[in-house]
Amino acid sequence: LLIIFIFYFVNKVIIKMLNNATKNSGIITEIEQQNKDKYKGSNLTERQLENYKTQLTNYIEIHQSYLENNITLNQLAEALQVNPKVLSQVINSGFSYSFFDFINKYRIDHAAHLLNANDKNLTIQEIMYDSGFSSKSSFNTAFKKFKDLTPTAFKKTNKKGSTS
């Protein structure tokens, strides 16, 4: 009887999960839905969102403001002449990042580039500061989040790959 009960229960749970599974299930769409709910009252159109994304990306890549260790959403919004709430929505909805993750993604890409092209033999701490981080723990955490490796492991992997 116990085996029959377990079999029935497991099948019930699995069938229920399969019946509820849709193309809208999953963590990514859950985040997107939260962003839609969060910005339900916003007047920002999809076209405006795309324009702001392009404007933001161009500005960030040209001015490299992510290298400033104390950059804020308000400072970036002021530089782009955009309302901070609109900029926040663009980053959250358009890139699916928080402001800090958005900035840290650029910083980590910059740090990875420095680690790859480390012909000056910079230390990891120097690269951390050059990339806009002021804390080793936040640098290591962000690096691991975006590259799935610590900076040291990334550097070692890069050296092994370049010698073969």
Q: Which long-range CB contacts under 8 A does 90-94 form with residues at least 24 apart?
A: 90/44, 90/49, 90/52, 90/53, 90/56, 91/56, 92/35, 92/38, 92/39, 93/32, 93/35, 93/36, 93/39, 93/49, 94/49, 94/50, 94/52, 94/53
22: tokens are 């849709």
Integer-rounded Cα radius of gyration of the chain: 22
Residue 156 has pLDDT above 90, yes or no: no
Average pLDDT (143-147) is: 92
Question: What is residue 152's predicted lDDT score, i.e. its pLDDT?
Answer: 87
Which residue carries 């723990």 as its tokens?
A: 137
pTM exceeds cut of 0.85: no
Instruction: Tell me the per-residue pLDDT of 25-57, one tens digit each, with 9 for 90 and over.
Output: 554 455 555 555 566 667 778 898 899 999 999
Question: What is residue 58's predicted lDDT score, i.e. its pLDDT?
Answer: 95
Among 10-24, 64-78, 144-158, the minimum mean pLDDT is found in 10-24
- Residue 84's pLDDT band, with cuts at 50, 70 and 90, is very high
State whether residue 156 is helix, strand or coil.
helix
Question: What is residue 39's predicted lDDT score, i.e. its pLDDT?
Answer: 65
Residue 54 and residue 80 in contact, taking contact as beta carbons nearer than 8 Å: no
